[in-house]
Structure 1
Amino acid sequence: MNLEFDREQNRTERLAFITRYSEWVKSVPNDVWSMQQAMLINSFLTSSKDFQPGRGEYLMKSDRQR
Structure 2
Amino acid sequence: MASTPTPSVEKIKNMILQLPIEELMRLMAAIEEKLETVAMMKLAEIGFQEWNEPEEDIYNDDRLFN
Kindly name which structure, 1 or 2, has the bigger radius of gyration based on alpha carbons: 2
- TM-score in terms of structure 2 length: 0.43
- TM-score in terms of structure 1 length: 0.43
Q: Greater relative contact order: 1 or 2 (C-alpha under 8 angstroms, separation 6 or more)? A: 1
